[in-house]
Structure 1
Amino acid sequence: MHACMHAVWRERNPMDHFRSLILRWFVPAELFAEAEVRRQAYRAVVFGLAMLIWVPVFAPIYLWMDSPRAAMLVGLVSIAIVLSICSLRFSKSVALAGNLLAGAVFAVLVGLACVSGGIAAASLWWLPSVPIIGLVICGVRSGMAWAIGSCVACVVFLTAALFGITLEDDISPEHHQLLDCAGACGIVLCAFILTFAFRRSEAEAREDLTIARDAAERANRAKSVFLENMSHEMRTPMNAIIGMTDLTLRSELRGTERGYLEVVRESSESLLALIDNILDYSKLDTSGFALAREPLDPRAVAVATIETFRSRADRRGLELACHVQADVPRLVVGDQKRLRQVLANLVDNAIKFTDRGRVALDVRCRKATDDGVDLSFSVSDTGIGIAADKQQVIFDLFEKADMSSTRRFGGAGLGLAISSQLVRRMGGGIEVESELGRGSTFRFTASFGPAARGSLEAGPPASPQPGDVRVPRRILLVEDGLVNQRLAATVLEKAGHMVTVASNGREALEAVAARTFDLVLMDVQMPVMDGLAATRVIRDQEQGTGRRLPIIALTSQSFDEDRDQCLEAGMDNYIAKPIRPRILLDLIDGTLGRSTG
């Protein structure tokens, strides 16, 4: 739309209409493709016409002054100028046309000086136009060459005068003043025309940049929408694969079958992590990306990250350790999700490239002041190591120290690239120390804000221990996917909850109106009525009743702005797919309040 408006404006503007006619007449269509070449061609034509319009002025003046040779030179240069700008149609070279134009103007000015008194000739005042033509149309080299040539011509005429070499002067002394006045007027007008042409072409360049910027912004918005849709489409089946695999692993299985399913689960988790990394990397270069500021416990984050990889390390026969120094604060302010993401990427990378030995996570306090805390995190392994000359590129996107290692151990290096950018946004830096065959240590620092006294919040509820009993709840599950309905319902029913299923927001409103529920699990993206709209209706209906039905969002989107949209719509909590049974059940307990029997 913006480009169309510019095109219409250009067509309606008289000067641009004239410019369009010039381009269509003198410039072949092949030169229209590249904007800068098109502007240079326009300058060449305008500069040529600016010189050409003075031919019918000065030719009669020279004839009136009884200088037919000067008039003939003016006539000849007019032919040369026309040929130079017409050469664009045949040579398709702006540089050739510009140099021909500069050469024609230079030749006529020097020729006029030869027949009108040499160094005192009025034509020499026009010589600055020659290097200007070469510079603006052809570039710096041509402009410099014509500048040197013009200076040499002036020096030659001056030398001739100093050594008494007399050049013929067809112009009488009383006519020189008239010629000087006409020349001065011509120089002023030509300078105006040349400057106008240059400024107009620059204005067009700015307009083109504006159009290109708008197009890039539209493309970026379209990319964001595409990524959000892709996230939903990919996470939905991944939720079913991971969820059903977890449920099957909880059943009685033979050793071989369990091993197969554990491979499926691990591969699914790796694919999901890759999806998350791709989506996160696409968001890092946008202005909308920002780190959260919330209370977090560095110890809890470190321990939880290690425990996530415990079973995987056990299967590979690796020792997995976590050491948190005593001086690390229990509570700081920062982005818990992003910190855990960086740690998970580093631990995942360490396990991936370690065949035997151990992987250890160490957390230390580097500096603690009233303004904040600087923490140091290191992940060390006894893996294959990295050559010294390759350690500078491993944080670049898709770079690997050794492609054979990539094929053997897997991975594209995306996690390290994202970790590097996230650490920089946390106010720190990341580095690696490694030796081939001895292992590697990835170390990064991050700055956190101080936690206010009394701001310690209850962490996520602990998983039920033996002897704990979950209180059965009446839960409304709102989910449009049949597979996800079956998965979530199975998880909830095995935990003792009573589940009612609705396929969209409208069915959810009907169910809430007909029955009483303790909690709603609401998918966000659904046909007929989405989860956000349904939640807003429920909250509106609760006005004045004193009752609030807890609603937890189920969504395939993992971006922070999606979480904010859910909370703004009135939802109480948020969980991203794929849904882990234990995390879902803990979240339900935390939202409703734990009950024990």
Structure 2
Amino acid sequence: MNRKVSFFNFSLNNILSKDQSLLDQARIRLLYYGFWIVGVAVFGLFISVYFQRQALLTITAGILLVSLLVLFKYLTYRANWKQISHAVLIIATIINLNNVFIAMQKVDIITVQVILLVILFSYYMIGQRWGLFYSLLNLVPVMVFLLISYKGNYSIALRPESVDQSTIIISIFANFILIIYIHSHFYGAFLNNIRELKENGEKQVELNAELELAIEKAEKSSRIKSEFLATMSHEIRTPLNAIIGMSNVMLMAKPRPDQVENLDVLKFSANNLMAIVNDVLDFNKIEAGKVIFEKTRFNLVEVVENICGSEKIKAEQKGLEFMVKIDPLLNEKTLIGDPTRLGQILFNLVSNAIKFTQAGNIWIKASFHESQGNNITVNFVVKDTGIGIDQRNLESIFEPFTQESITTTRQYGGTGMGLAIVKRLLELQGLQMYVTSKVGRGSEFSFSMDFPVAAAIDDADDKNTLLNYAESFENLRMLIAEDNPVNVLLMKKLLSKWRIKPVIANNGQHVIELAKESDFDIILMDLQMPVMNGFDAAMEIRRLQDPRKALTPIIALTAAALYDIRAQVLKAGMNDYVSKPFKPEELLEKIQNLVAAVH
């Protein structure tokens, strides 16, 4: 019902509701108007049999009239059409069998009409199962009565009553009216129901079309976003590659102490800018669920010290006391995991601690927590004496592009993505970040991470081997595909430190021509070039007839850092890739591994 109705309600509109189906509304209407029709007919019968002094029929008509009034009142108060339908059928069955076996002691046209009404009403109102039950409940006893009467064996003490022709006419007329009304009413209801289903079907088709269009727009939007990020990534990272790369080259040239300081500042600022770019790209990867965690050997102490070493400068510039405490047991272990992602988590936490602390201390702690077999658990804590966080905002600070307040954003700056990335990276590894904070007192962020312990290998020997191999690169035949003059200059300067004299191609087509003419030990392939891109060039090289040329190792050098770049590179037939700006030692190691594998 639309609302709670009064006991004295008699309006149909008050007991109908939009929540009801068209069929249920039709059932309620049938009962409502049906009671009026039957009530008028029963009242007429009551008057007729009363003046004919038919006591039993008068009592029956009177009981029926009162029952109709009670059921009608119940309908307009509670509108429980199922209970009322059962009550109507039970009353009709009792009256029908009473007339056949007691009052009239015969089966006439009125009896047949009542049975038809019971069949129609029960099936339409309460369904097939109950319809069959009430139909048989009325039909079977009547058939039994007919069989008994046929043999002349039916006899009871009461004398059957008889009614005049006017009463019979009233009964037949009322029954026909009810039969026609029930058929007409439900036929209209079924038509409306079919019409509504058709309209709903048409609306569903329209909604499906709109949904498909929305999905297509969303996919297009996602594709445009990915293309935009790829373009922006390439355009921003390309000059950053030159800045960071030239800083590395100049630092490798043994500069004066004052020059080292200037170069460190330059490199530090460029790396900070790169961190912002990476945050945007990494968040895109994380949201797409495409982050792949590496499993490489690393020294945890070195990772923590490298992060803290770069951040310590910022802390000291603000006059903060910067304290790092690393469990001595961790220095003796080589772990297996993703040092890049771990470094990213720690960098964001430490950077945030420094940003939001104006005076006091910054603590970074890495402690050996427990050991299980060949795995160890390390607990990381980053604590500060900064502005703190209101308890009500502890959840919102982990949302992307969100800081505690607009005032915080204006005062301290930042993109608001750092903690969002930290939380997502931990969640993807099944880990949880714990935060405790008090406004004006500071905050503490902590998490625990499990690492397998690698077999001990002398890292000094590894570095010496890599260095020795680098010194033997002077005979390496290298082809570089790069169209950016600044990057070409950078690569030449960097490779000269390793005594490599590369051949330069300025587009993909040029690469193929040079690969056909000469033999190369390795190819460094830029991906976005004029005439022909790096992907197509790599595929063409793999189709060369000379097996030696076709199998030349190819490393993609790309300023794009989208989540599917690795899959695209490998699909094009390239062996590996290095993202710009790259670490010289990373490129050197990949060159060494690929060349060694071929030779």
- TM-score normalised by structure 1 residue count: 0.62
- Specify whether residues 554 and 118 from structure 1 end up closer, same or farther in structure 2 by C-alpha distance, changes over 3 A only: same
Does the CA contact (< 8 Å) of 2:401 and 2:416 recur in 1?
Answer: yes
Q: Deviations over 1:141-177 (max 9, x none)?
A: xxxxxx999725989xx9xxxxxxxxxx9x9432333
Letter in 2 for 1:151: T
Q: Which residue among 397, 400, 403 is the counterpart of 1:397?
A: 400
Compute the displacement of 1:112 (Å).
Answer: 6.5
Instruction: Write out per-residue CA displacement over residues 184-236 of structure 1, whole angstroms, 9 at most, x where no aligned residue.
Output: 32343334334334444544346244553454344334433332233223322
Q: Which amino acid aligns with 2:526?
A: D
Q: Is the Cα–Cα contact under 8 Å of residues 359 and 386 in structure 2 kept in the other structure?
A: yes
Task: Say whether the 8 Å CA contact 1:295–1:456 is kept in structure 2.
Answer: no
Residue 490 (structure 2) aligns with: 487
Please tell me whether the aligned partners of residues 520 and 549 of structure 2 are also in contact (alpha carbons under 8 angstroms): no
The separation in 1 between residues aligned to 2:407 and 2:516, in whole angstroms, is 61
Instruction: Quote the offset at 1:502 in angstroms.
Output: 0.8
| 2: CA distance, partners of 1:577 / 1:510 | 25
8 A Cα contact 1:351 1:359, kept in partner? yes
Amino acid at match of 1:219: S
Q: 1:478, 1:520 within 8 Å by CA — same for their partners in 2?
A: yes
Match of residue 281, structure 1, among 274, 283, 292: 283
1:76-106 Cα offsets, whole Å, 9 max, x none, are xxxxxxxxxxxxxxxxxxxxx99xx99x999
Report the 3-state secondary structure (helix = DSSP H, G, I; strand = E; otherwise coil) of the residue aligned with 1:326.
Answer: helix
CA distance in 2, matches of 1:338, 1:497: 32
Query: How do 1:288-303 and structure 2 match up within 5 A?
Result: 289-292=290-293, 294-297=295-298, 299=300, 300-303=302-305
C-alpha contact 2:315 2:322 (8 A) present in aligned 1: yes
* Aligned positions of 1:201-240 closer than 5 A: 201-203=199-201, 204-205=203-204, 207=208, 208-240=210-242
Structure 1 residue 291 displacement after superposition: 3.4
Equivalent position of 1:416 in the other structure = 419
**Which AA in structure 2 matches 1:502?**
A
Contact 1:385/1:439, CA 8 A, preserved across alignment: yes
1:151 paired with 2:114, answer no
Structure 1: distance between partners of 2:569 and 2:185: 69
Aligned equivalents of 1:405 and 1:251: distance in 2? Answer: 43
Distance 1:212 1:593 in 2: 51
The answer for unaligned runs of 5 or more in structure 1 is 1-96, 122-146, 159-168
Distance 1:410 1:266, change over 3 A: farther
Report the CA distance shift for 1:194/1:225 in structure 2 as closer, same or farther (over 3 A).
farther
Describe the shift of the 1:404–1:180 C-alpha distance in structure 2 as closer, same or farther (beyond 3 A).
Answer: closer
Would you say the 8 A contact 1:463–1:586 is kept in 2? Answer: no
Contact persistence 1:428–1:447 (CA under 8 A): no
User: What are structure 2's unaligned runs of at least 5 residues?
Assistant: 1-17, 43-71, 85-166
Letter in 1 for 2:536: A
One-letter amino acid of the counterpart of residue 214, structure 2: A
Q: Does 2:198 match 1:195?
A: no
Call closer, same or farther: CA 1:370–1:254 in 2, change over 3 Å: closer
Task: Provide, for residues 11-57 of structure 1, a one-character-per-residue CA deviation record: whole Å limited to 9, x for no partner.
Answer: xxxxxxxxxxxxxxxxxxxxxxxxxxxxxxxxxxxxxxxxxxxxxxx
Structure-1 residue corresponding to 2:581: 578
Q: Which residue of 2 aligns with 1:179?
A: 177
Q: Is the 8 A contact 2:435 2:443 kept in 1?
A: yes
- Residues of 1 paired with 2:481 and 2:38: CA distance? 97
1:40-439 alignment runs, 5 A limit: 116-118=37-39, 151-152=76-77, 172-203=170-201, 204-205=203-204, 207=208, 208-244=210-246, 265-287=267-289, 289-292=290-293, 294-297=295-298, 299=300, 300-309=302-311, 319=322, 321=324, 323-324=326-327, 326=329, 330=333, 334-354=337-357, 359-369=362-372, 374-401=377-404, 403-436=406-439, 439=442
Which deviations, in whole Å up to 9, do the C-alpha atoms of 1:392-420 show, x marking residues without a partner? 43222233235445444431321111111
Q: CA deviation at 1:343?
A: 1.9
AA matched with 1:291: I
> In the aligned structure 1, how far is the partner of 2:180 from the partner of 2:525?
84
For 1:246 and 1:351, locate their aligned partners in 2 and report how far apart those are by CA, in whole Å: 26
Q: Is the contact made by 2:544 and 2:550 (CA closer than 8 Å) also made in structure 1?
A: no
Does the CA contact (< 8 Å) of 2:327 and 2:368 recur in 1?
A: no
Q: CA-to-partner distance for each residue in 1:309-348, whole Å, 9 max, x for gaps?
A: 4655566666463514526994565444332321222122
Equivalent residues, number: 459
Percent of residue pairs identical: 30
Q: Is the 8 A contact 2:371 2:377 kept in 1?
A: yes
Using a 3 Å threshold, how does the CA distance of structure 1 residues 430 and 304 change in structure 2: closer, same or farther?
same
SS at match of 1:559: coil
Q: 2:535 aligns with which of 532, 537, 540?
A: 532
Instruction: Indicate if the aligned counterparts of 1:427 and 1:447 stay in contact, CA closer than 8 A.
Output: no
Structure 1, 342-351 or 208-217: larger mean CA deviation: 208-217
CA–CA distance in structure 2, aligned partners of residues 538 and 475 of structure 1: 15
Distance in structure 2 (CA, Å) of the matches to 1:565 and 1:459: 35
Pairwise CA distance, 1:499: 2.5
CA distance in 2, matches of 1:186, 1:212: 44
One of 426, 445, 456 as aligned partner of 2:448: 445
Alpha carbon RMSD of aligned pairs, Å?
A: 5.0
C-alpha distance in 2 between matches for 1:249 and 1:293: 29
CA distance change for structure 1 residues 525 and 200 in 2, over 3 Å: closer, same or farther?
farther
State the shift of 1:463 in Å: 8.7
Tell me which moved more, 262-271 or 523-532.
262-271
Could you tell me how far apart the structure 1 residues matched to 2:348 and 2:39 are? 80
- The answer to whether the Cα contact below 8 Å between 1:240 and 1:487 also exists between their aligned partners in 2 is yes
Counterpart in the other structure of 1:523: 526
One-letter code aligned to 1:535 = A
In the TM superposition, what is the alpha-carbon distance from 1:503 to its structure 2 partner? 1.1
